[in-house]
Amino acid sequence: MNQHEFIFPQSSYYGKGTPENIAFNGKLQEFSHKVNYISGLQTAGKIPARLAYLQVQELWQELKQTKQKLDSAKKA
pTM metric for this prediction: 0.80
Backbone angles phi, psi at 74, to 5 degrees: -65, -35
| pLDDT tens digits along 23-62 | 898 899 999 999 999 999 999 999 999 999 999 999 999 9
Neighbour tally for 66: CB within 10 Å: 17
Summary mean pLDDT of the chain: 89
